[in-house]
Amino acid sequence: MDFSICIVSYECREKLRACLESIRANRPTVEHEVIVVDNGSTDGTVQMLEEDFYWVRTVRNPTNRGFSVALNQAVAVATGHVLMMLNPDTVVHHGALEGLLR
């Protein structure tokens, strides 16, 4: 794996949806994975991930374990040579991931 995109989410389903849709629309050409660690959201985030974003690797925490713990969980399962932490309220624009990798 070349590139791992790590996202921590908590109660941000619609922002995360927009983020993941932007990644799907502007995915890098290298082999990549997207990992979302959800910190016990009750807003349907995990269900959305399962139904609409089957290609995302999801780690489910039963409670909010905090940002740094969740990010470390994502890093622990990431297989990419390059890791990127992306906030769930980020929208990826055309060429942004490729530019970052260069």
Q: What is the radius of gyration, based on Cα positions, of the chain?
A: 13
* Residues whose CB falls within 8 Å of the CB of residue 16, separated by 6 or more in sequence, listed in order: 7, 9, 36, 45, 48, 49, 88
Q: What is the model's pLDDT at position 102?
A: 86
> Model-level pTM?
0.96
Full pLDDT tens readout for the chain, 102 residues: 899 999 999 999 999 999 999 999 999 999 999 999 999 999 999 999 999 999 999 999 999 999 999 999 999 999 999 999 999 999 999 999 999 888
CB count within 10 Å of CB 23 equals 23
Q: What is the model's pLDDT at position 70?
A: 98
Residue 71: φ, ψ to 5°: -65, -40
Q: What is the model's pLDDT at position 48?
A: 98
